[in-house]
Structure 1
Amino acid sequence: MEKMKAITVMSALAQPTRLAVFSLLARAGEEGMTAGDLAERTGTPSNTMSSHLTILSHAGLATSRRAGRNIFYRALPDAIRQLTVFLIKDCCDGCAAICDDLEGDLNACRKPKLAKSRTSASA
């Protein structure tokens, strides 16, 4: 990722509603969500949501597809992966160890979900 692209991605996410929308889209997966659903979930007016989705799309964080009368948006999480790699290379001089225990932090995020799914499976 080039420096200007990284700045564009970070700028797009540096706003509370857009960050919330990206998180919702990431959790929605391939199916995505409509702009109306996103507006309702975030309490954002439709015209403002449209602007937010345009910014996320231009930053390469979201894409859309038409299904009949609806337009579904979905996250492009690879942009976050690319941004993370860029930051580690650029800010940490390519040494993940400088960023402390990044792998441990990421694994800690996964453990509660695994435990939860095991609990639901046994219930």
Structure 2
Amino acid sequence: MDNDSAIDALGALAQSTRLDAFRLLVRHEPAGLAAGDVARQLDIPQNTMSSHLAGLARAGLVRAERHSRHIIYRADLDQLKALTLFLVKDCCGGRAELCEPLIAELIPCC
């Protein structure tokens, strides 16, 4: 990941509704959710939610797949991984032992 991609991703997440939508999609991996379901769960009008999901897609954080009349959105976990690694790649000046608490916090999620 380069600086521009990281800035795009962080910019997309720097808005409350988009951050909530992305976190919701991460929780629903690998199945994803239809745009309408995301809107209902977050209590956001569907047309507004579509705009937010499109912004996340432009930043590479979500992928959309058409299934008949529905568009299913999924978090792009590879992009999330790339962004996270970009942010911590030079953590602690190469002293891996200083990053162990951060890594330990991330491990229980999976």
TM-score, normalization by structure 1: 0.78
Identity %: 46
Corresponding residue of 1:74: 74
What is the CA–CA distance in structure 2 between the aligned matches of 1:51 and 1:92, rounded to whole Å?
Answer: 38
Once the two structures are superposed, what CA deviation does each residue of 1:86-114 show, in whole Å capped at 9, x if it has no partner? 1112564455445462122223x44xx8x
CA gap 1:44/1:96 in 2 versus in 1, 3 angstroms? farther
Corresponding residue of 1:25: 25
Corresponding residue of 1:117: none
Q: Which one is further off, 22-31 or 44-53?
A: 22-31
Secondary structure of the equivalent of 2:28? helix
Structure 1 unaligned segments of length 5 or more: list them.
114-123
What is the CA–CA distance in structure 1 between the aligned matches of 2:95 and 2:79, rounded to whole Å?
Answer: 20
Deviation of residue 35 (structure 1)?
A: 0.9
CA gap 1:68/1:50 in 2 versus in 1, 3 angstroms? same
Give the greater-gyration-radius structure (CA). 1
Deviation of residue 51 (structure 1)?
A: 0.9
Moved over 2 A (4+): 89-100
Amino acid of the residue matched to residue 16 of structure 2? P
Corresponding residue of 2:9: 9
Report the number of matched residues.
110
Deviation of residue 78 (structure 1)?
A: 1.2
Deviation of residue 79 (structure 1)?
A: 1.1
CA gap 1:48/1:86 in 2 versus in 1, 3 angstroms? same
TM-score, normalization by structure 2: 0.87
CA contact under 8 A between 1:88 and 1:96: conserved in structure 2? no
What is the CA–CA distance in structure 2 between the aligned matches of 1:95 and 1:59, rounded to whole Å?
Answer: 31
Amino acid of the residue matched to residue 86 of structure 1? F
Structure 2 unaligned segments of length 5 or more: list them.
none
